Structure 1
Amino acid sequence: MFDTHVDTLYVWVALGAVSVAVFGVVASLPASAPPDATTAATTVDEVATSPPGSVATHELDAEEWTLSGRAIGLRADGGVAHATVLDPYVPALGGRLAAVLAGAPPRRYFRSPAALGRAAERARTADAEWRPAPERLRVRHVRWGGVDVVLAG
């Protein structure tokens, strides 16, 4: 007597629409979390506030990255994450700055501290673009003459 009849067309159509909507929401959720840009920025900040000669590395879980003088961006299947660093750093993504970042003495690649400073300023002000990310971020604090820079790449 108090039974409901669930055989009406409207109920079945509504149930189908709700099922499709729920499936769409579940299917659109990312399979993994976005990369952690904050810990990468913390690594840069730690080296920047450490004495010259300090070096640190940080494992990256991103497919692509972008480095500017004040921020780090990481992108993966789970999304995009950005973090701002406290002290400006120099993106050393290639050339002589990358060699110094890898551990070479600056005098091997630059004639003077002023030349290192000019190269650092050019790299710091260059347009940031998305690039394939390496497995780890490397950061090095370099002081030569009157030039004090933090290289990251």
Structure 2
Amino acid sequence: MFDSPADAWYVWIGLSLLGAALLGIVTQLPDAPPPDAAGPANAVDAVAGGRHAGTGTYPISADAVWIEPHRIGVRTDDETAFETLAYGPVTPVREGTLLWEVLQGARPDHVFESTEGFARAIGRAAERERAWRSAPGALDVRTVSWEDADATLVGA
């Protein structure tokens, strides 16, 4: 009495609409996991929060990376994710600068003539305009202390 007959036209139209709606939902699902900003941020925090000078490298599986003094961002084709750093500020470092050499392992007293020059370079890097950088596959982190100048250098 309350059943609808299976050969009724409105049952088939309803099932067709339901199938089309489900197909639309399935095709809108992302085909890849969202980018991981927490991993690079945790790697930076692990080095920056250490009691002694340290270094670290974190593999990045994203197309681009965004480095600010207080947060890290990663971007893929479809999505972007940011994570706030617990230990900051950090100094974003670009490839081809003197700070990049220090980030890669050079001693600051071999690269810079004085601690004042080192401190000025840190200040300029912190004030530089931010931009997305192509992710080369890894994020490098190094804490450096030279007399009164302390910094956590981060580059990709």
Q: Could you say what secondary structure the match of 2:83 adopts?
A: strand
Q: Judge which range, 39-48 or 75-84, deviates more.
A: 75-84
Q: Which residue matches 2:119?
A: 117
Q: Could you say what secondary structure the match of 2:31 adopts?
A: coil
* Structure 1 Cα separation of the partners of residues 32 and 93 of structure 2: 29
RMSD over aligned Cα, in angstroms?
2.1
Match of 2:133 among 114, 123, 131: 131
* Structure 2 Cα separation of the partners of residues 47 and 2 of structure 1: 68
Q: Which residue matches 1:83?
A: 83
Q: Which residue matches 1:46?
A: 46
* Structure 1 Cα separation of the partners of residues 52 and 43 of structure 2: 15
TM-aligned CA distance change 1:23 to 1:77, over 3 Å: farther
- The 5-angstrom pairing of residues 36-75 of structure 1 reads 36-75=36-75
Aligned residues, how many?
Answer: 153
Q: Which residue matches 1:148?
A: 150
Residue 44 of structure 1: CA displacement?
1.0
Q: TM-score, normalised by structure 1?
A: 0.87
Q: Could you say what secondary structure the match of 2:21 adopts?
A: helix
Residue 127 of structure 1: CA displacement?
2.4
Q: Which residue matches 1:98?
A: 100
TM-aligned CA distance change 1:69 to 1:3, over 3 Å: closer
Contact persistence 1:72–1:84 (CA under 8 A): yes
Identity between Structure 1 and Structure 2 (%)? 37
Question: Which amino acid counterpart does residue 50 of structure 2 have in structure 1?
Answer: S
Contact persistence 1:53–1:141 (CA under 8 A): yes
The CA deviation string for residues 68-113 of structure 1, in whole angstroms up to 9 with x for no partner, is 1110001125632211112210111221111110011112332211
* Structure 2 Cα separation of the partners of residues 45 and 102 of structure 1: 18
Question: Which amino acid counterpart does residue 38 of structure 2 have in structure 1?
Answer: T
Runs of 4+ in 1 over 4 A off after TM superposition: none
* Structure 1 Cα separation of the partners of residues 18 and 94 of structure 2: 50
Residue 13 of structure 1: CA displacement?
3.3
Q: Which runs of 5+ in 2 are unaligned?
A: none
Q: Which runs of 5+ in 1 are unaligned?
A: none
